[in-house]
């Protein structure tokens, strides 16, 4: 059994490789919901959707989000109504949000809504939101404090980051299955996702970090920082804003209390010694995932560490 902690695009790419090596029904993915936002009266879960769409092989690979070949006619008409349309929603994508929102309104928790969506997309692996409770990642910037999606999508990650706030951090409990899937597994993989607003959010949910320290499973991280910058997304800006160095080492340092091994890219070979001094086993390989072959190869390297 394998459990993975995941954000959006980077995690989804890695998981695609993993499902080529491990039977889908032996995989549990715990996904960040700090990016979730209510827009257009709909509950949108960007990271859950990217992971689901990628594994169902319907993701728009070019854009990195949404559904391949989708149209944007509803958004177009919303623009005519002068509705705010900074968050892009495809017409097919909308169906996901409509379906999820209806399940939530009928009193079902997010984990059940996610299970329903996965089933209907014929996914065999288990995708769990980190929490069913309200959790909202906000970014404090020189232009004010705003929802993470507003910082990232609406304002293009251009504002100077001064801090990150996890609203709900104290109250949010892990979704059913989360703690159990960390304890009863052969390995926990920390996907190459943003260490602050993807993995950091998951770690902030009650008992998750302490369970990662407790578990007898091997905990293996993959660095999202390659050659001193993130492969995708604003991790560099957020890390710098929190006074952190933007390096594989800095990510390892954030995870050192629960990590057994850390996989870094060849480009960051020079950091091996510093990371080893944190008490971690370091594995160096090519971590950039462009082709499906890259993804499968990386998955095999990581699984090789489980023993």
Does residue 57 bind a copy of itself (CB under 8 A)?
no
How far apart are CB 91 and a copy of itself at their closest, in Å?
A: 4
Q: Which is nearer to a copy of itself, 42 or 278 (CB)?
A: 42
Distance in angstroms (rounded) separating the CA atoms of residues 106 and 180: 27
Whether residue 287 contacts residue 226, with contact meaning beta carbons closer than 8 Å, is answered with yes
Helix crossing, 9-18 with 292-304: angle to 10°? 70
Instruction: Please tell me the count of residues contacting a copy of itself according to CB under 8 A.
Output: 32
How far CA 181 is from CA of 26, 114, 185, 186, 255, in Å, comes to 11, 16, 6, 10, 19
Stretch touching a copy of itself by CB under 8 A, among 65-73, 131-139, 194-202, 239-247: 65-73
Scanning residues 106 to 135, which ones bind a copy of itself (CB under 8 A)?
116-117, 120-121
Shortest distance (Å) from residue 78 CB to a copy of itself:
4
To the nearest whole angstrom, how small is the minimum distance from the Cβ of residue 104 to a copy of itself?
10
Q: Number of helices (H) and strands (E) in the chain: give both, helices first.
A: 13, 14
The residue among 102 and 158 lying less far from a copy of itself, judged by its C-beta, is 102
Spatial CB neighbours of 155, under 8 Å, sequence gap ≥ 6: 143, 146
Q: Which is nearer to a copy of itself, 84 or 134 (CB)?
A: 84
Rule CB under 8 A: is residue 51 a binding residue for a copy of itself? Answer: no
CB 66 within 8 A of CB 93: yes
**Distances in whole angstroms, Cα of residue 233 to Cα of each of 66, 95, 159, 198:** 16, 26, 14, 11
114 close to 30: Cβ distance less than 8 angstroms: no
Residue 76 found at the interface with a copy of itself (CB under 8 A)? yes
> What DSSP string runs through 127-186?
EEESBSS--EEEEEETTEEEEHHIIIIISTT-SPEEEEEEETTTT--BPTTHHHHHHSSS
Task: Using the rule CB under 8 A, give the single segment among 18-26, 72-80, 191-199, 283-291 that binds a copy of itself.
Answer: 72-80
226 DSSP assignment: E
Q: Which stretch binds a copy of itself (CB under 8 A): 10-18, 91-99, 163-171, 186-194?
A: 91-99
Which one among 25, 61, 102, 276 touches a copy of itself, defined by CB under 8 A?
102
Phi, psi of 284 (to 5 degrees): -110, 130
Q: By CB under 8 A, is residue 92 in contact with a copy of itself? A: yes
| Shortest distance (Å) from residue 116 CB to a copy of itself | 8
Q: Does 290 interact with a copy of itself (rule: CB under 8 A)?
A: no
In angstroms, the first-to-last Cα distance of the chain is 13
Instruction: In angstroms, give the least distance from the CB of 53 to a copy of itself.
Output: 11
Segment (H or E) for 200: helix 199-204
Of these, 21, 68, 101, 261, which contacts a copy of itself (CB under 8 A)?
101
H helix intervals, 2-62: 9-18, 46-55
Selected binder of a copy of itself within 20, 21, 74, 146 (CB under 8 A): 74
Q: Which is nearer to a copy of itself, 92 or 272 (CB)?
A: 92
Interface residue with a copy of itself, options 62, 80, 290, 307 (CB under 8 A): 80
Task: Give the span between the Cα atoms of 231 and 224, in whole angstroms.
Answer: 7
Q: Give yes or no for residue 105 binding a copy of itself (CB under 8 A).
A: yes
Chain residues binding a copy of itself by CB under 8 A are 40-42, 67, 70-71, 73-78, 80-83, 90-96, 98-99, 101-102, 105, 116-117, 120-121
């Amino acid at each position: 059994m394998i459990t993975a902690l995941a954000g959006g695009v980077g995690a989804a790419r890695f998981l695609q490789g993993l499902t080529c090596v491990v039977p889908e029904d032996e995989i549990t993915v715990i996904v960040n919901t700090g990016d979730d936002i209510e827009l257009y009266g709909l509950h949108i879960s960007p990271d859950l959707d990217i992971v689901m769409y990628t594994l169902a092989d319907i993701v728009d690979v070019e854009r990195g989000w949404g559904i391949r070949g989708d149209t944007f006619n509803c958004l177009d008409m919303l623009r005519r109504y002068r509705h705010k349309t900074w968050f892009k929603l495809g017409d097919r994508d909308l169906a996901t949000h409509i379906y999820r929102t209806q399940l939530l309104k009928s009193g079902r928790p997010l984990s059940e809504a996610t299970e329903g969506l996965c089933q209907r997309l014929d996914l065999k692996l288990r995708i769990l939101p980190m929490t069913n409770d309200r959790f909202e990642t906000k970014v404090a910037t020189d232009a004010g404090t705003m929802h993470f999606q507003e910082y990232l999508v609406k304002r293009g990650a251009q504002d100077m980051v001064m801090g990150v706030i996890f609203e709900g951090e104290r109250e949010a409990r892990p979704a059913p299955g989360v703690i159990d899937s960390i304890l009863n597994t052969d390995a926990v993989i920390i996907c190459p996702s943003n260490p602050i607003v993807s993995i950091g959010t998951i770690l902030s949910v009650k008992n998750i970090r302490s369970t990662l320290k407790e578990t007898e499973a091997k905990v293996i991280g993959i660095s999202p920082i390659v050659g001193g910058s993130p492969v995708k997304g604003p991790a560099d800006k957020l890390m710098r804003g929190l006074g952190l160095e933007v390096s594989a080492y800095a990510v390892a340092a954030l995870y050192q209390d629960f990590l057994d091994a850390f996989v870094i890219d060849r480009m960051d070979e020079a950091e091996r010694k510093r990371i080893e001094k944190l008490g971690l086993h370091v594995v160096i390989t090519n971590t950039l995932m462009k082709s499906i072959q890259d993804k499968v190869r990386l998955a095999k390297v990581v699984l090789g560490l489980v023993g």
